[in-house]
Amino acid sequence: MGGTMIIVFVGTAGSGKTSLTGAFGEYLEENYKVAYVNLDTGVKELPYKPDIDVREFVTVEEIMKEGYGPNGAIVESYDRLMNKFDYYLKEILELESKKDYVLIDTPGQMETFLFHEFGVKLMENLPYPLVVYLSDPEILRKPTDYCFVRFFALLIDLRLGATTVPALNKVDLLKEEQLEKHRKYFEDLDYLMGRLKFDPSMQGLMAYKMCSIMMEVLPPIRVLYLSAKTREGFEDLETLAYEHYCTCGDLT
C-alpha cells in the first residue's frame, strides 16, 4: 500500500466534487505530497493541476461534434476510455507509490461512475479507496430525504466495493440553524424516526421501516459537513481518511 490514501469524491452534477477536490488538495499540500486525478470527460475548467486527466484522451464535446447528443456522448466517452483502462489504472497506481494522497475527481454525472464498467472496475483495482459521497443540502427537504442520503451511501458502498462516507457539502451556504437541523436529522436517529412516524404516506412508512431495521444491523457511519470555501470539515475528513487507512477500510 505504500502509506498512500486514495480519496474518491462522488456526487451528482453540481454537488461540488471538483471545487472540493481542489480545496481539500490545497489544504493537504501544506503538509503532504498530493496527486490529483480528473476522471470527468465533460468538465470545462479545473481549479487544480491534474497529474492525470482523462480529457487528454477524450472529451464529451469532441464526441458531440461527431453527431452524438449530450447523454449519448457522455456514455460513449467512457466506452472509449475502457480501451485505455489498463493505462489509467497503471498511472494511478504509480502516483499511489509516490504521493501521500491521491485525490480522485469523478465524472460530472454520478451515475456514469456508478453504472459504467470504467468506474466499477477502477474501484475494484485500487487499494482501499475511501469514497466521499457529496450531497447538496438543497436536496434535503423532507424527513425521508435524510433516510435516502444514508441509504444512497450504502448503495454506493455496495456497488463500488469501497467504504463510502456521506458528506453534506457547501455548508458555508447554510444558516447556523439550518445546519443544526441537518445534523440533528443525520445524527439523532430517534429524532428522525419520530419525524418519519408522522409521515402517513407509504414512503414515510417504508423509510421508517428501512431506518429502524437497518440501523440495528449496520451501525451508521459518520456524516461529514464540508465546505470548499471555509475548509469546514477538512480536519474531520483528514482524520477519517487516516482511520480508514489504518483499519484497512473498516470504519464501523
Residue that is written with C-alpha cell 454520478 in the block: 110
> From CA 146, how far away is CA 151, in angstroms rounded?
9
Which residues, in sequence order, are bridge partners of residue 130? 7
The H-or-E segment that residue 252 falls in is none
Shortest CB 99 distance to its own copies, Å = 26
Half-sphere exposure of 25 (CA within 13 A, CB side): 28
Q: How far is CA 231 from CA 22, 83, 139, 205, 225, in A?
A: 11, 38, 22, 37, 10
If one asks whether residue 215 binds its own copies (CB under 8 A), the answer comes out as no
Considering only residues 1, 173, 218, 246, which one is a binding residue for its own copies as defined by CB under 8 A?
218
DSSP symbol at 58: -
Residues 121-160 that bind its own copies (CB under 8 A): 136, 138-139, 144-145, 147-148, 151-152, 154-155, 157-159
- The grid cell for 137 is 443540502
> Does the protein bind its own copies through residue 4 (CB under 8 A)?
no
Rg (C-alpha) for the chain, rounded Å, is 19
| Candidate residues 20, 23, 110, 130; the one interacting with its own copies per rule CB under 8 A | 110
By CB under 8 A, residue 219 contacts its own copies: no
| Binding pattern for the stretch 49-88 against its own copies, x by CB under 8 A and - elsewhere | -----------xx--x---xxxxxxxx-------------
Residue 135 β-bridge partners:
168
Q: Would you call 183 helix, strand, or coil by DSSP?
A: helix
- Contact between 210 and its own copies by CB under 8 A: the answer reads yes
Q: Could you give the CA distance from residue 69 to residue 148 in angstroms, rounded to a whole number? A: 31
In whole angstroms, the minimum distance from the beta carbon of 115 to its own copies comes to 5
Q: Nearer Cβ to its own copies, position 1 or 213?
A: 213
Using the minimum distance from each CB to its own copies, give the nearer residue, 185 or 234.
185
* Distance in angstroms (rounded) separating the CA atoms of residues 17 and 132: 9
Residue 173 near its own copies by CB under 8 A: no
Does 194 contact its own copies by CB under 8 A?
Answer: no
CB 110 within 8 A of CB 159: no
Binding of residue 13 to its own copies (CB under 8 A): yes
Residues in contact with its own copies by CB under 8 A are 12-14, 40, 42-44, 60-61, 64, 68-75, 108-112, 115, 117, 136, 138-139, 144-145, 147-148, 151-152, 154-155, 157-159, 161, 163, 201-203, 206-207, 209-210, 213-214, 216-218, 249-250
